Amino acid sequence: SAVISQKPSRDICQRGTSLTIQCQVDSQVTMMFWYRQQPGQSLTLIATANQGSEATYESGFVIDKFPISRPNLTFSTLTVSNMSPEDSSIYLCSAGQARNTEAFFGQGTRLTVV
Amino acid sequence: KQEVTQIPAALSVPEGENLVLNCSFTDSAIYNLQWFRQDPGKGLTSLLLIQSSQREQTSGRLNASLDKSSGRSTLYIAASQPGDSATYLCAVTTDSWGKLQFGAGTQVVVTP
């Protein structure tokens, strides 16, 4: 199994600012994913982060709003840019080795935009 | 497009009763199905992973079945305890990268 550490665990931010969320895995993983969970809803995939290449974004999510870095096989960051109250959500990092292996999640970042 | 549905949305049982949580998906072309537990305001804890070729998986008081052809999975939790109170999410993997498609979850309350 993999242990995933996410920082910060929570933050309150002013609208118009940006927040970078860090995700550290205790072992090398092939794939890392970023999900958003809006209040009272389930998880929605934002993007897939591959080491050494640009992240792949899901429909409705764009790089300018959610830039992602994946500098190595154990680390990734997600930035929420130019925030508005609608960005208030829990953001979760996930990691896995391949499609047939278990996915593990960080503890999430609870973001409130005021 | 794959859709994942969980029924019921909420469930309240007295301690000691068995829990039955249902998950259905519209496209049977999945690689695997995973059950997670989420405590309020927290991340996800993986409970069970069932590969598409498997019919069930067991871990302690938890048992999950998978009927891929009918697009259904059921999570059974035996002899429920107040500590089992949480939201339970099922998710399917439908692509080679391992992206997950989640259901909306079942919120479980086990009363002492």
pLDDT digits (tens, 9 = 90+) for A67-102: 999 999 999 999 999 999 999 999 999 998 766 678
A107 touches chain B (CB under 8 A): yes
Burial A90-105, CB ≥16 within 10 A → b, else e: bbbbbbbeebebbbbb
Beta-carbon separation of B31 and A99 below 8 A: yes
Per residue in A2-26, pLDDT (tens digit) is 899 999 999 999 999 999 999 999 9
Mutation target to probe the A interface, by most A beta carbons within 10 A, among B25, B97, B101 is B97
Q: How far apart are CA B17 and CA A51, in angstroms?
A: 46
| pLDDT at residue A52 is higher than 90 | no
Q: Kindly list the distances between the CA atom of residue B108 and the CA atoms of A103, A114, B38, in Å, as whole numbers in the listed order.
A: 22, 31, 10
Residue B71's pLDDT band (boundaries 50, 70, 90)?
very high
Query: B43 in helix, strand or coil?
Result: coil
* Whether A102 and B99 lie within 8 Å, measured CB to CB: no
Chain-chain contact of A103 with B100 (C-beta, under 8 angstroms): yes
Q: If DSSP states are collapsed to H, E and C, what string results for B10-42? A: EEEEECCCCEEEEEEECCCCCCEEEEEEECCCC
Model pLDDT, residue A96: 81
| Mean pLDDT to the nearest integer, B11-19 | 96
* pLDDT average, residue stretch B38-59: 92
Question: What pLDDT is stored for residue A98 in this prediction?
Answer: 67
DSSP string, chain A: ---EEEE-SEEEE-TT--EEEEEEESS--SEEEEEEE-TTS-EEEEEEEETTS--EEPTT--TTTS-EEEEETTEEEEEE-S--GGG-EEEEEEEESSTTS--EE---EEEEE-
Give me chain B's average pLDDT, please: 94
- Dist. CA B62–CA B78, nearest whole Å: 7
Tally A–B CB contacts below 8 A.
Answer: 69
pLDDT at A102: 84
Amino acid at B62: L
Q: Is the pLDDT reported for residue B84 higher than 90?
A: yes
What are B90-102's pLDDT values in tens digits? 999 988 788 899 9
